[in-house]
A and B are shown apart, each in its own frame.
Chain A
Amino acid sequence: MAALYAAKGNVSVGVISKLYPTRSHTGAAQGGVGAALGNVQEDHWEWHMYDTIKGGDYLTDQDAAEIFSKDVIEAVYELEHMGLPFSRTAEGKIAQRKFGGHTREFGKAAVERSCYAKDRTGHMILQTLYQQNVKEGTTFFNEFHVLDLLIENGRCSGVVAFELSTGEIHTFHAKAVILAAGGYGRIFKITSNALTLTGDLMSIYYRKGLPLEDMEFYQFHPTGLTKLGILVTEGIRGEGGILRNKDGERFMERYAPTLKDLAPRDIVSRSIYTEIREGRGVGPDKDAVNIDLTHLPRDVIENKLSEITDLSRTYLGLDPVKDLVPIQPTAHYAMGGIPTTIDAECIADDSGAIIEGLYAAGEQACVSLHGANRLGTNSLGDLIVFGRRAGMFAAKYARSADMPEMPENPEAESRQLLDTLKNADGAENAARIRKELQETMMNNVGIFRNGPDMEKQVEILRELRARYQHVGVQDPSVRYNSELIEALELGFMLDCAEAMTHSALNRTESRGAHDREDFHTRDDQNWLKHSMAYKDFSRPGNVRLGYKPVVFKGAERYETVMTYTPSADTSLKFPPKPRTF
């Protein structure tokens, strides 16, 4: 989306991607994109804004939420105008269904807000945006791995990237750079994320001494296929699927009496874990619960939920038409990341100073729309709304800015990074370290957290980092050296895990997806603020933590770039309230 809007902005655009663009993990998103179109039931952007803020447990910046819930309506129509094959209502409008945490009249009842294309909405968004970029003539650099960002005196002048097919290092000199590289779910053992989601750009940003915001907030999606972590769309609950424990009980009635199975993800995931901990799990290890679709009509399962039906049949040999499907929470989405303004500019410090010419959007960015917990469908919404803003504002900046000067010897650090890996003694195996990282992060910084476990994890990460210095690359080849890439990625993952663990240990409260067993309640007095994690270069393995205030006012700085006219009322705001569903 960012590339497309930059291309429409009359500037020359190149996309640098570690994959072929159609392989990107946006394609795995299933359920839909929430927008208050009101095609099925009355709906308003204010309701969506409220749900987003409440879903985020009041850590959401409310200016971002306002822009988002207004603009996402137009962004969805734009996708339709680009040919996205949405499912349709009987009248031929974009079809909408219920989704976790999306309500009418500020929490009264669930509302049909998720615009969907069967259960492959992300696939259709990815394909449509790629197609439109082909149409606009965007240049793609496929299978190029970014190694470094060039930033001097608060100004970004480009990136350095490694070309997988040749082994060459390239410097891209640019007036503006947009980062949109996705998340880092692979630091966990059970995850819905692709093998390639290793937090590369977050880590590179962090290595420059720049902050990562709200890294302690990581969403575990309630329904991953057991053991595999493959995502089962929330759309199955939107269509009426019910979670049941070993006794067949619809346990969500106890945890969220109003929204039940459609409560926000953090709450459903914790409820599932609580059931499992209290011995009401299913499966050989009693570490899952069942999702029950057997009461739904066969055509709903076969047609509206065909993707997940196929996954369940393929991987578990179970047919949702007649079988209960065992699921367990799976590491899914990073609320935190590279801090940005509402115009997608990257933020360099606690005061909110920006890096000129550098923009970020999507999961790897933190605007902060999702606060402490993202609502289902708002990831796709985030990337079309803030991806679009990033593209537009970056193009606008590039049109007026002069070409910045590059640092002397821009590739030096990247070469050193690769040489260090190539020349290491090879006493350690990257896969073993990665496996230990994934298992320990899952156990110590997972759904339920406490001080002692996380302190232990801080030590484990120091040890893993020390061992990482000995990871060598046995493959001497220059072309397609994927072993070198995997070793690099492990280094990125260790940074993300470090920022997350320290941020989580520091936040002595429970909020949204961050649940502390030793600090069980939300503490608005002390913790209604964003964490900013900086690498502590003076004490390796440590993190310096700063803070940034939560924005409670409406979008005063809202510079509309759309045809949609925002309301004049910028006073709309939602003060924190206890969070029940």
Chain B
Amino acid sequence: MHINVKILRFDPEKDKKQHWETYNVEAEPSDRVLDVINHVKWYLDPTLTFRRSCAHGICGSDAMLINGRNRLACKTLLKDVVKEGGTISAEPIRGLKVEKDLLVDMEPFFDAYRMIMPYFINENAAPAAERIQSPEEAERMDHGSNCILCACCTTSCPIFWVNGSYIGPAAIVQAHRFIYDTRDAATEQRLNIMNQNTGVWRCRTAYNCTEACPRDIPITQLIEEVKRAVMYQQS
């Protein structure tokens, strides 16, 4: 099918501000948006810049706004976002500095990630074999451990747009994964971090994060669970 791809471009070495450019592309309805963007780069305009790697939704590189919504370009099929002769738009995710075209500075996102102590902590001597954990206990980590750090959630959050010091949904999801790990010994420290003024209380349950997540993680629910855990700890 024939479609138009409208991309928000920005080259810091020559542009003062962002501007739209539109490309005409032949594609199949079953193609990924990433296929189309690759096509533009490979055959129409090699200066187009964006991140991508696995091309099937597991590495988390190609989060972008597609038709105004945060998605992974490799996990979005054309047939779901455009009709024959129609136009799709692609813009960089919001709330992070645009470095070039669709590529943003991810450092603040990973800074927030590092704030929650994103690693397993248990300084007791480990047994010779595995630590025992029931299937039900393991299941509590299912959603949190499913996160690929693509930033779709955090950069769809209106609170994060306004106040970049909010650690954002992705960091809370990571914290949830450890708080609900029966083997981890640092729950109290993490809940204290969550209770700071950059933590969970910034969340206004807009649900944007849940809608944006390409892994279908019920993020708002996880944030609510962490809020309750913090309240329980305080009381």
Contacts and interface: CB of A to CB of B under 8 A. Distances in A.
A128 B46 CA distance: 36
Interface stretch (B88-96, B123-131, B189-197): B123-131
Given A22-B148, A28-B58, A474-B47, A196 B181 contact: no
A194 B59 contact: yes
Among B119, B149, B184: residue with most chain A CB under 10 A: B119
Given A28-B54, A131-B118, A131-B119, A87 B99 contact: no
A195 B43 contact: no
A24 B58 CA distance: 9
A350 interface: no
Contacts of A135: 119, 121
Contacts of A480: 49, 99-100, 103
Interface in B129-165: 129-135, 137-138, 141-142, 145-146, 148-149
Interface in B49-79: 49-61, 75, 77
Interface in B1-28: 11-14
Given A429-B43, A474-B46, A87 B135 contact: yes
Interface stretch (A75-83, A205-213, A252-260): A75-83
B130 A93 contact: yes
B130 A86 contact: yes
B138 A88 contact: yes
Contact of B42 (A82, A431, A479): A431
B114 interface: yes
A20 interface: yes
Interface in A46-92: 77, 80-83, 85-92
A19 interface: yes
Contacts of A118: 142
Contacts of A87: 135, 138
Interface string A412-436: 0000000000000000011100000
A25 to B, nearest CB: 6
Contact of B59 (A27, A83, A124): A27
Nearest to A477: B13
Interface string A131-165: 11011000000000000000000000000000001
A134 B118 CA distance: 8
Nearest to B59: A23
Contact of A195 (B53, B57, B110, B148): B53
Interface in B192-210: none
Contacts of A311: 56-57
B231 interface: no
Contacts of A28: 54, 56, 58-59
B167 to A, nearest CB: 15
Contacts of A89: 135
Contacts of A27: 54, 58-59, 148
Interface string A290-317: 0000000000000000010011001100
- Do most interface residues of chain A lie in helix, strand or loop, or is the interface mixed? loop
Contact of A91 (B11, B47, B119, B132): B132
Contacts of A561: none
Interface residues of B, number: 61
Contacts of A83: 119-120, 122, 178, 181, 183-184
A90 B61 CA distance: 36
B53 A194 contact: yes
B53 A25 contact: yes
Nearest to B125: A81
A498 to B, nearest CB: 23
A10 interface: no
A501 to B, nearest CB: 24
B81 interface: no
A134 B114 contact: yes
Contacts, number: 150
A306 to B, nearest CB: 9
A36 interface: no
Interface in A529-570: none
Nearest to A92: B132
A239 interface: no
A90 B128 contact: no
Contacts of A82: 120
Contact of A477 (B11, B60, B149): B11
Contact of B58 (A85, A93, A123, A315): A123
Interface in A425-452: 429-431
B56 A315 contact: yes
A562 to B, nearest CB: 12
Among B43, B133, B184, B216: residue with most chain A CB under 10 A: B133
B8 to A, nearest CB: 15
Nearest to B54: A194
A113 interface: no
A237 B216 CA distance: 25
B55 A479 contact: no
Interface in A454-486: 473-475, 477-480, 482-483
A109 to B, nearest CB: 25
Contact of A88 (B38, B114, B134): B134
A482 B49 contact: yes
A84 to B, nearest CB: 8
A431 B57 contact: no
Contact of B126 (A22, A81, A120, A123): A81
Contacts of B75: 314
A134 B56 CA distance: 26
Interface string A20-52: 101111011000000001000000000000000
Contacts of A134: 114, 118-119
A474 B46 CA distance: 7
A90 B38 CA distance: 46
Interface string B101-113: 0010010001000
Contacts of B142: 85, 118
Contact of B149 (A22, A90, A117, A482): A22
A85 B43 contact: no
Contact of A479 (B99, B128, B130): B99
A228 interface: yes
Interface in A294-350: 307, 310-311, 314-315
Given A37-B129, A81-B130, A311-B57, 14 more contacts: A20-B61, A23-B60, A25-B54, A83-B183, A83-B184, A88-B138, A123-B58, A124-B145, A127-B145, A135-B119, A194-B59, A477-B14, A479-B100, A480-B103
Interface of B: 11-14, 30, 32, 38, 41-43, 46-47, 49-61, 75, 77, 99-100, 103, 106, 110, 114, 118-122, 126, 128-135, 137-138, 141-142, 145-146, 148-149, 177-178, 181, 183-184, 216
The 5 A-B residue pairs with the shortest CB-CB distance in the complex, in nearest-first order: A83-B120, A431-B42, A92-B132, A131-B119, A135-B119
12 contacts: A25-B53, A77-B126, A80-B131, A82-B120, A85-B138, A92-B132, A92-B135, A131-B118, A307-B58, A311-B57, A477-B100, A483-B47
